Structure 1
C-alpha cells in the first residue's frame, strides 16, 4: 500500500511539474511573440515614418514634414519608443540643417541624443551621428564631420541587417567620400564614393561620382557617369530634386569642356524645375544663377552675366529671409503642439519648457547671424558686380578701340554704349556739334594721340591739330586746360 501511495504521489508530482514547465514554456513563448510583435511594430513605425518624411523632404513641404513628425512623436511617446522619438527629432533637425537654421538643429540633435543615450539600437545611433556629421559639414568643420561619420560607421556595423540599414550604409560611404574630397584626400575619397555607388546605384550616387571627376578635372570619366546619370533620369522616376542637381552637374560638365550652348541648356533645365516646384530644396537655384553668370562672363556676354549675378544675390537674400521666417514659424508650431505630461509622457514635460526657452534665446542670436551673413553677401555682390562691370567695360573698350582704328562707321554707336552720358553731355554744351566732331571727341576721350587719330582717319597731322583747336572753341575749353583732362572729366 505504501508503495502504491508513493507511486501515486510521484505521478501527481510529475504531472504538476509538467504543467508548470508547460506553463512557463507558454509564457516564454507568449513573451517572445509579444517581443517580436513589439519589434515588428517599431520597425514598421520607422519604415513608414522615414518613407513619408523623405517624400515631404524631397517635395520641400517642410510645414507638413514637421506636422508629420509631431504626430509620430506622440505615437512614439505612447509606445514608450525612445528610438522612435529620437528619429522624429532627427528628421526635424535635418531640415533645420539644410536650411541653415543651425542653432535649432543642434538643439534637436541633442534631444535625439538624450533619447538614444541608453539605446542598444546601432541603426538609430548611426543615423544620429550621420546627422551630426552633416551638421558639422555645413559649418565647414570637416574634421569633426569625419569624426562623427566614423562613429556612424562603428554603430551601423552593430545593427542587424534590414532595409533601413541597407539604405543608410551607401549614404555613409558617399558622405565620407565627399568629406575626404574636401580634405584633398582624393584616393580614399574615390574609393568611398565608388563603394557607395556600388551599393546604391541611384541617380544621386552616380551623380556624386560624376561630380568627383568634375572636381578632379577628369572629364572623360565624368562624361561616363554624367551619361549614365542622364539616362537614369530619363528612364527612371527621379525626384525633381535629383533632376535639379543632375542638370546642375551636366551644366558644370559642359562648361568644363567649353560646350557653352549645352551648358546653358542644362542650367536652364534646372531653372525650369525650380519654376515648376518652387520648393525650398529646388530653390538652391542660386547656384544655377551663379553658374550662368560665370558662363556668360566666359562668353563675353556682359549684359546676361550681370543679370544672372544680380539674380544670384537676390535669390540668396530672398532665401535667407524666407528660410528664417518659415523655419521659425514651423518650429514654433512644433513647440506649441507638444502637449504637457498628462497627454504625453512625464519625461516630455521639461521638453516643452526647454524648447520655448531655447527658441527665445537662440532666435536673437540667429537673427544677428543672419544679418551679418547678409551684409557679407551684399559686400561680396558689390565686389563681384564691380569686377564684372570692369570685365565688361574692358571688353567693350577693346571692341570700341578696334572700331576706331579701322575707322569703322559703327564706332560712334558702340562708343555711346560704352559711355552713354558722354555724347549727351557734349550736346548740352553745344547742341550744334556734328557727328564727325562727336566722333573726334570720342577718340580724344579714348586718349588717342594726334598722330594716331591722323593715321586711323587718313588725314594729315596738321588737320588733327586744327580740329582740336576748333573743338576747344565750340566746347569753350580754356586754353590753359589740357584737352584730354577736359574729356576725362566729362561724365562716363
Structure 2
C-alpha cells in the first residue's frame, strides 16, 4: 500500500498524483508498460531533482517486477532502490521497500525472510515522526504480518490483535483519501472474529467495511465484505440471507467493478454453492459447484506455475551464492528435487481429490434421481388409492410419508383413524369437493369434519389446514 507523496512544488505534486493513478491501473493489467512508464517518469523527475518522486517511481517499478515474477530483476533493482533511499535518508521510502520485499517473500513462501523485513520495518517506523503517510505504511506492515501468520496457522488471537492494530492506525489518519482500500481493514478483522466464532463482532466489522466501502466506491473492499456476510450467514445456517449478497457479488462482477479473474469467480461460485446446498436447491448447487471446480482448477494451475517460478528463483540464488562449491551445490539440487517431487505429489493429491469429489457428486445426483422417481411413483399410487376409496389408502400413505405420520400422531396422539385419513387427504392437497366426492360424503359433512379437526388440534377457524400440515412436516 504505497501512499501518495506530496511536494512543495505544485506541478510536481500534480504529476505524481497522475503517475500514481496510471500506475495503479497498470500494475496488474500491464506491468511491462508500467516499467516503461516508471523509467520515463524518473527521467522527468531527475531534471527537477525531485527525489521523492523518483523514489515513488522506483518502488512502483519493483511492484511491477514482482507482478511479472521476474525475481532476478526484482532482486537487482531492490539493491539499487535501497541504495538510493539510504543516500537521501528517505526512511519512508525504506519502509515501503521493506514492505514490497515482504510481499515478494509471501508470494514465494519465504516466511522467515519476510518476517525479518517486516520486523525491521516496524522497528524503523518508531524512529519516524507520526504523520498520515507513516500511519498508512504501518497499516500495510501490520496487515501483511497478519497474513504471514494466517498462512502459518498462528493463534487466531495474535492475528486478530494485528488486524485491530491496523484499524487503530487507520482511525488516526486525518486524510483518509490516501488509503486506496479502507474497508479491507475491517473485513480482515471480521474474518478473524469468524474463526473465533464471535459472529456478532464479525457482523459489526463487516457492516463497517460495507459502509465505508460504499462511501468511498471501494469495490474491492466491498467484495470482501459481501463474501464475509455470506460466510457468516452460511455458518449460522441462515442460507436465505446469503442469497442477496450473492446477487451483490454477481453485480460487482457484471458491472466490471471487480475483475472477473479465476480466483474471484471461484470465490463467488463457492459461496453460492454453499448457500444453495443449505437451501437444498440441488439444481443451483450443482451449477455453482461445477463452476467453482472449473475455476479452482485454473487457480491451482496458476499456483503450480508460481511454485515452479519459486523453485527456479531459489535455485538461481543458491547457484550464485555457492558458485564453485560443487559439494554443497549437489546437496542443494537434491533439496530442490525433493521439493519438486513434493510439489508434484501435492498437485496429484488435489487432482485425485477433485476426481473423487466429482465421482461422489455424480453418485449423489444418481441417487437423488432414483429417489425422486420412486417418490413420484409412490405419490401416483397413493392418489389412485384415494380416488378409488381403497381401504389400503391410509396404510400405503403411512408407508410413503412415515415422517409426516410420526410427527402428526406425536403432536396429536388423540386423533382417530378417520381424522388421520382426513389429514392424509388434506396433506395431498385434495379440495373439500374432491374429498366429498371420493369419500362419498356431502360437502357439509366434510366441512364438519374439518371443523372438528381444527377444534381438536387447537387451530383457529381461519387456519389453512393444508399449510398447517405441510409446516408440521418441516
Query: What is the TM-score when the length of structure 1 is the normalising length?
Result: 0.55
Match of 2:406 in 1: none
2:54 & 2:210 partners in 1: Cα distance? Answer: 38
- Runs of 5+ in structure 1 lacking a partner? 1-36, 325-367, 412-452, 458-492
1:221 aligned to 201, 204, 219, which one? Answer: 201
Contact 2:190 2:201 in 1 (8 A): yes
1:148 corresponding residue in structure 2: 117
| Match of residue 160, structure 2, among 190, 212, 219 | 190
Q: CA deviation at 1:67?
A: 5.2
The answer as to whether partners of 1:96 and 1:105 remain within 8 angstroms in 2 is yes
Partner Cα distance (1:282, 1:50) in 2: 25
C-alpha distance in 2, partners of 1:323/1:63?
A: 21
Task: Note if contact 1:267-1:292 (Cα within 8 Å) is conserved in structure 2.
Answer: yes
Structure 1 pair 315–196 and aligned structure 2 pair: CA distance change class (3 A): same
Q: Which residue of 2 aligns with 1:231?
A: 211
Alignment of 1:139-218 (within 5 A): 139-182=108-151, 183-201=153-171, 202-218=182-198
Whether the 8 Å contact between 1:76 and 1:84 is mirrored in structure 2 is yes
Alignment partners' CA distance in 2, 1:75 and 1:377: 50
Superposed CA offset, 1:31-79 (max 9, x none): xxxxxx9997999499637742575269967676555434323335556
> How far did 1:222 drift?
0.5
Structure 1 residues 214, 115: closer, same or farther in 2, change over 3 A? same
- 5 Å matches for 1:303-322? 303-315=283-295
Given candidates 40, 48, 64, the residue that maps to 2:17 is 48
Decide whether aligned partners of structure 1 residues 142 and 298 sit closer, same or farther in structure 2, where only a CA change above 3 A counts. Answer: farther
Please identify, of 73-82 and 179-188, the stretch whose mean Cα deviation from structure 2 is larger.
Answer: 73-82
For residue 200 of structure 1, report the CA deviation from its aligned partner: 0.9
2:164–2:189 CA contact under 8 A, matched in 1: yes
SS of residue in 1 equivalent to 2:188: helix
For the residues of structure 2 that align with 1:194 and 1:303, how far apart are their CA atoms?
Answer: 41
CA contact (8 A) 1:156 1:165 kept: yes
The equivalent residue for 1:259 is: 238
Q: 1:409 and 2:409 equivalent?
A: no
**Alignment partners' CA distance in 1, 2:360 and 2:61:** 40
Change (3 A) 1:130 1:398: farther
**Conservation of the 8 A alpha-carbon contact between 1:207 and 1:226:** yes
Alpha-carbon distance change, 271 to 375 in structure 1, aligned in 2, over 3 angstroms: farther
* Deviation for aligned residue 1:390: 3.4
The answer as to whether partners of 1:313 and 1:378 remain within 8 angstroms in 2 is no
Q: Report whether the alignment pairs 1:272 with 2:251.
A: yes
For CA contacts below 8 A with separation 6 or more, give which structure has more relative contact order. Answer: 1
Alpha-carbon deviation of 1:210? 0.9
Alpha-carbon distance in 2 for matches of 1:237, 1:186: 29
What pairs up with 1:12-411 in 2 under 5 angstroms?
44=13, 48=17, 51-52=20-21, 55-56=24-25, 65-66=34-35, 68-76=37-45, 78=47, 87-94=56-63, 97=66, 101-102=68-69, 104-105=70-71, 107-117=73-83, 119=86, 120-182=89-151, 183-201=153-171, 202-234=182-214, 236-277=215-256, 280=259, 284-315=264-295, 381-397=354-370, 403=375, 407-409=378-380
Equivalent residues, number: 330
Q: Report if aligned partners of 2:45, 2:53 keep a CA contact under 8 Å in 1.
A: yes
How far apart, CA to CA, are the structure 2 residues paired with 1:279 and 1:43? Answer: 31
